[in-house]
């Protein structure tokens, strides 16, 4: 029985993919945590996140392999690095994707009985696993692309070309920590 209700929640999300996507695009375009997205073409953002919502059932199903998520989201991380995004922006965008999904479930009032709550918890467990993996592999793809860019540049070129307020292609976490501490 919980599987059927969970399927009902997935169906709700997939049917409302357009509405969710429009809300997500508006949100990611206005948040100070995602400045690079502000100038990114709406249609490209729409396509990307709409696909996640429209095919949520596929993404969270037990048949979707870790390798499939890794392939798609490692490529996304590499793409976002090439486009000049900060890794924190990419992760925030994925967090917002998950947030809008749950805002819809809560707004639609599907959590009235203990059975509904159990189904929502099941959906939440699968969605959290998917989004955790998507964040990990996006970060991994970003790091791989950054390391490759640093290797192509060489250390001397990298130091000479790097603006003082820009993170290095390699070691960006340490750079960020140094900037925050003073």
**pLDDT score of 2:** 41
Number of domains in the chain: 1
Task: Quote the CA–CA distance of 12 and 108 in Å, as a whole number.
Answer: 9
Report in angstroms the alpha-carbon separations of 145 from 17, 40, 47, 170, 176.
31, 20, 23, 9, 18
Distances (CA, A) of 113 to 16, 118, 120: 22, 9, 11
pLDDT of residue 1: 37
Span between the terminal Cα atoms of the chain, in Å: 55
Residue 116 pLDDT: 76
Q: pLDDT below 50 — which residues of the chain? A: 1-2, 5
Domain CATH number, residue 31: 1.10.490.10
Amino acid 115: pLDDT: 79
Domain coverage including residue 109: 2-181
């Amino acid at each position: 029985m919980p599987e059927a209700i969970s399927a009902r929640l997935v169906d709700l999300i997939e049917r409302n993919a357009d509405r969710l996507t429009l809300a997500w695009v508006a949100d990611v375009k206005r948040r100070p945590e995602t400045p690079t997205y502000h100038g990114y073409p709406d249609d490209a953002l729409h396509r990307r996140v709409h696909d996640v919502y429209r095919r949520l059932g596929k993404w969270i199903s037990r048949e979707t392999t870790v390798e499939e998520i890794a392939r798609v989201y490692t490529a996304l991380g590499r793409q976002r690095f090439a486009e000049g995004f900060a890794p924190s922006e990419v992760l925030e965008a994925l967090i917002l994707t998950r947030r809008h999904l749950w805002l819809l479930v809560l707004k639609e009032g599907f959590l009235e009985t203990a059975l509904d709550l159990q189904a929502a918890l099941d959906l939440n467990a699968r969605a959290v696993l998917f989004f955790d993996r998507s964040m990990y592999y996006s970060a991994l793809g970003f790091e791989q692309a950054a390391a490759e860019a640093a290797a192509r540049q060489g250390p001397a070129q990298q130091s000479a070309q790097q603006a003082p307020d820009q993170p290095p292609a390699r070691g960006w976490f340490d750079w960020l920590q140094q900037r925050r501490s003073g």
